[in-house]
Structure 1
Amino acid sequence: MSDHRIGLGQGTAIYVGAILGAGILALPALAAQAAGPASLLAWLALLLFCVPVATSFAALGGRYPDSGGVATFVSKAFGKRASGAVGYWFYFALPAGAPATAYVGGQYVSHTLGGGEHVTLLVAAVLLLAAFGSNTVGLKLSGRVQLFLVGLLAVLLLIAVLTALPHARAHNLTPFAPHGWAAIGQAASLLFFTFAGWEAVTHLSGEFRDPGRDLPRVTVLTLVVIGVLYLGLALTCVLVLGPQLAHANAPLTLLLQRGTGSAASAVTAVMAMLLTFGTMNSYLAGASRLGAALARDGFLPSVLAKGHRAGEVPRRSLSLLFVLSALVCAFALLTGTGLGHVMLAASSCFIAVTVAGLAAGIKLLPRGTAVWWGAVVAAVVMGAVLVFSGWFLLLPLALGALAIGWAGWTARRAAPAPVGEPVAVVVAPVPPAE
């Protein structure tokens, strides 16, 4: 067992890694295509929406620090059965979400370097194996690796912004809303999942030295870093690329070409790998600890419970996630299942986890306070987003039923015989006296 605890630097790096994703490489263009320069308002609105979500989970994590994360919050608010369902939503969505994220990173690297599908799959496999390997060693290594990678990523993004800024032109802000003000909502829907990930790191709340003190600080630092990176990059893309932004397949590459020239492709490929690895590294750190907590609470086989305590490495839970991820990859390759369907399946579960966590916050946090009202507003918005998952809502429903069924089955097996029920006693025959 390790006595390592997360500090502010490593905690912030893990949190930033969970929020940032490879989508930032393409989404500035998609948002500009939908709303023009007015897409900047969508970026700002979603950053502000992050505040109540993040502060709600920080407050809950400080009150109930545990590797169960959102599942623990739900257990305190609604009971053990509900928490098992929520735990299953996150744990069993990860084997679909991690390979899909790795594949997106591989696609961007392959596209940037001019490779084909085999390059995409090779890069995705390397990224996936690296994230699992980092977490196998434990948070002491994965936290330090994350701190280094997020720092390097921030430097590269700042280089992209600062070297391109001399080419900024104010006239690129006009017309500001060429598709009308309603298009800002469409841009926001495209950008929504770029700001997700707060639910993933709740499972690490027990790993902090002082969760009640450290979680709010880490949350504030993460919001500042995310805000600077997202808004800085989006504003620079609009000011520098102008109308070209809406038609760009790789806007960050174009931005770098303006500032660094021929090195743009290589730098963009490195950033794509850093973003992808960082996201998977953070999610795996949380999910593996959640699996151990679920086993501790009777929702998974007890053999997986090793590693649920703070400072331990849940290698058995991580191994199961690796096997399940490999099976998802094999299934997708053999059946030709599209990336979009895999990502939507995972997203429906992750959104459901966020809604459940916010609902728990409404019940557990002090009523009428600012953080309570934030949880109310965020829960309403996220609930509306969840409805748009359509048929994919069947997946969290099925996983919830499976969790409750497993807990009921194991409880019946472990239950003692009811009082008053006759117990059969076998008496050996006594041999006759000689």
Structure 2
Amino acid sequence: MSPPSSAKSPRLQATLNLPQIVALYIGSVIGSGILLVPGLTAEMAGPASIVAWLLMSVLVIPMAITMGLLAAKHPSSGGVSHFVRLAYGRKAGQLVGWFFLLSVPIGGPVVAVTGAQYVGVLLHWGDLQTYAAASLILIIPLVMNVFGLHLAGSVQTIVITLIVAILLLAIVAGMPHASSANFTPFMPRGAMSVFQAAGLMFWCFIGWEAVTHLSAEFVDPRKNAIRGVLWSAGIVSALYFAVAFMTIATHSYGGAGSAAALSVLVQRSLGPVGGWIVAVTAIFICFAAFNAYASAGSRIAYAMAQAGEAPKWLGTLHRKYNTPIGGLAFVAVGIAFSMAALLFKTVSLSQLIALPNATFMATYIGGCLAGTRLLRDTRVGRSSSWISLVVTLGLYPFLGWPALYPLAIGILFMLWSRRRSLSARHSGRPPMRPPQ
């Protein structure tokens, strides 16, 4: 019998059924990666990249199950950092938080430039025009966040619908132009390129942790969390594989076109109109994605600063709107450096995307490690966690030099923590503890 409502504090209602859970997972996983990665991996490994797509489509299932089980068993808005904190302690959880925070200033420009390139290909823009458009995609959400505005949930739902519709359009539009001749030579750059492509593909399969903060609102979470990730993993994998297959079968990649392969694919049947449909959708997708990144990153910075896990200035709030301008300023400065590096060709887009890809992969390694402890009481959880951990660790070295980025963050985090502890010891104050 339920206690009277007056006897308990208000609780979130369990209103999310299986179809809604599946839609949420699909929307969290499919994003800007589908606009960029199929073309880049095809250029990187040739037709053999389809092997990597097939491999990742299968191996992503235990990863999704691991995150789904963790969400069902330990629902929290802290996501993977919360799971890691439970399994390995406060500092390990803090480090995972830093992984996410230092991904945003690099991942944001990757998302924005990807969207701008889809318009640039149609209008034959040069670098300055493309990066000016990308800057608008970044600046507008940052300004919106200063005023405390966010994209409505209904708009995000429209984005999900548009993404799936465009992917289906691209698959159907490419069919008349597919040719088996485009699969030869099959492995022009050797077997190693296939593993390198698989590492880059990880960018497309992140997001399973994003829905964990809603797990308290799942109807029958222990059952529907697993069903939700299985259905969504199957749908996401099928869509990605189909788009990647058609990109290769129609040879819709190569040179500057690799970064806008989806547009090239659709234009083969629909012409410029199809290109504009994809371009407008790409801008919308990338804008919505960065709005979410900027909002989450700035608020994580604020929460970490408040808990004494980050420099105090990151916790600065706007006097009037009470929004985390310290975190937004950090994101903005980081974005400026990343955009400059891209504009002056210090790094390429495919090289830059590898940095946040590495931190996300490190985050998932932490989540899988947490799963081996927190899910060891169930055979499915234990097996999924270990399979995901082995696969992620196996792919990690193929990231190349970007694999050092999370390691550098870890070293800086340890140095900062040690300096803060020494400072607190000399001042006679105990180090701040995060709220429980």
The reply to whether TM is greater than 0.5 is yes
CA drift of 1:60 comes to 1.2
Q: Give TM-score scaled by structure 2 length.
A: 0.76
Name the counterpart of 1:426.
none
Name the counterpart of 1:338.
347
**Partner of 1:299: helix, strand, or coil?**
coil
Residue 236 (structure 1) aligned with residue 246 (structure 2): yes
Residue 401 (structure 1) aligned with residue 404 (structure 2): no
CA drift of 1:18 comes to 4.0
CA distance in 2, matches of 1:225, 1:138: 34
Mean Cα deviation higher: 153-162 or 293-302:
293-302
RMSD across aligned positions (CA): 4.0
The one-letter amino acid of 1:231's match is F
CA drift of 1:73 comes to 0.8
Q: Does the C-alpha gap of structure 1 residues 98 and 403 become closer, same or farther in structure 2, counting only changes over 3 Å?
A: farther
* Contact map agreement 1:36 1:179 (CA 8 A) in 2: yes
Residue 323 (structure 1) aligned with residue 332 (structure 2): no
Q: Does the C-alpha gap of structure 1 residues 339 and 177 become closer, same or farther in structure 2, counting only changes over 3 Å?
A: closer
Q: Deviations over 1:298-345 (max 9, x none)?
A: 4247898899xxxxxx9744x333211211233346675535565444
CA distance in 2, matches of 1:82, 1:288: 20
CA drift of 1:148 comes to 0.7
Matches within 5 A, 1:9-408: 12=22, 15-33=25-43, 35-132=45-142, 141-169=151-179, 171-172=180-181, 175=184, 177-179=186-188, 182=191, 184-199=194-209, 201=210, 204-205=213-214, 208-209=217-218, 212=222, 215-239=225-249, 241-242=250-251, 245=253, 249=258, 250-284=260-294, 286-288=296-298, 290-291=300-301, 293-295=303-305, 297-300=307-310, 316-317=323-324, 319-332=325-338, 336=344, 338=347, 342-367=352-377, 369-387=379-397, 388=400, 389-401=402-414, 404-405=417-418, 408=421
* Contact map agreement 1:68 1:293 (CA 8 A) in 2: no
CA distance in 2, matches of 1:126, 1:4: 38
Name the counterpart of 1:421.
none
In structure 1, stretches of 5+ residues that fail to align are 308-313, 417-434
Q: Does the C-alpha gap of structure 1 residues 177 and 368 become closer, same or farther in structure 2, counting only changes over 3 Å?
A: farther
CA drift of 1:280 comes to 2.6
Q: Does the C-alpha gap of structure 1 residues 215 and 81 become closer, same or farther in structure 2, counting only changes over 3 Å?
A: same
CA drift of 1:88 comes to 1.6
Q: Does the C-alpha gap of structure 1 residues 185 and 343 become closer, same or farther in structure 2, counting only changes over 3 Å?
A: closer
Name the counterpart of 1:424.
none
**Partner of 2:207: helix, strand, or coil?**
coil
CA distance in 1, matches of 2:217, 2:295: 13
The one-letter amino acid of 2:414's match is A
In structure 2, stretches of 5+ residues that fail to align are 1-9, 431-436
CA distance in 1, matches of 2:176, 2:35: 21
The one-letter amino acid of 2:330's match is L
* Contact map agreement 2:174 2:246 (CA 8 A) in 1: yes
Would you say how many aligned residue pairs link Structure 1 and Structure 2?
405
Name the counterpart of 1:422.
none
CA distance in 1, matches of 2:231, 2:428: 46
CA distance in 1, matches of 2:322, 2:382: 36
Q: Does the C-alpha gap of structure 1 residues 257 and 383 become closer, same or farther in structure 2, counting only changes over 3 Å?
A: same
Q: Does the C-alpha gap of structure 1 residues 218 and 143 become closer, same or farther in structure 2, counting only changes over 3 Å?
A: farther
Q: Deviations over 1:362-396 (max 9, x none)?
A: 11112561222221122223234444435434432
